[in-house]
Amino acid sequence: MKTVLSAFALLLASSALSFAAEPAMVAEGAGGKMYTDAKGMTLYTYDKDSGGKSACNGDCAVNWPPLMAAADAKDEGEWTVVTRDDGSKMWAYEGKPLYTFIQDKKAGDVTGEGKGGVWHIAKAD
């Protein structure tokens, strides 16, 4: 019985830890520390987003895929969950929704930096 309880406690602890993980990673790039998705792809912010709301929908989201969050994802400190116009969820950092860029082909690419004067690498402090 003790073994079963220990295994159950371990399972609960590991579940709690998985929810505490940040939705992005920090990588060192040409411009310093930046946020990336789980595949190492650079994350960007969009100047036209405001108030924790994504303004990048439709064709914009095809070229700038949002950093999607699970439907049951919860805010985690400076990481917040934003509901998109289509009802799906995405991650934001400090209220700024996060995106990857379709023209970035490999981890560490930063080809979206400065695009249209409104796209910027999500910098890690």
Place of tokens 């159950």: 8
Q: Are 105 and 112 in contact (CB under 8 A)?
A: no
Task: Look up residue 117 and give its two tokens.
Answer: 């004067």
Question: Tell me, what DSSP letter sits at residue 64?
Answer: S
Q: Residue 46's beta-bridge partner residues? A: 119
Task: Look up residue 25 and give its two tokens.
Answer: 């990673």
Q: Are 103 and 112 in contact (CB under 8 A)?
A: yes
Distance of alpha carbon 46 from alpha carbon 120, whole angstroms: 7
Q: Residue 36's beta-bridge partner residues? A: 25, 42
Q: Tell me: the pLDDT tens digits for 67-122?
A: 999 999 999 999 999 999 999 999 999 999 999 999 999 999 999 999 999 999 99
Residue 40 CB contacts under 8 Å (≥ 6 apart), including other chains: 25, 27, 107, 108
- When the pLDDT of each residue in the chain is averaged and rounded to a whole number, the result is 86
The domain segmentation of the chain, as residue ranges, is: 23-121
Q: Tell me: the pLDDT tens digits for 50-64?
A: 989 999 999 999 999
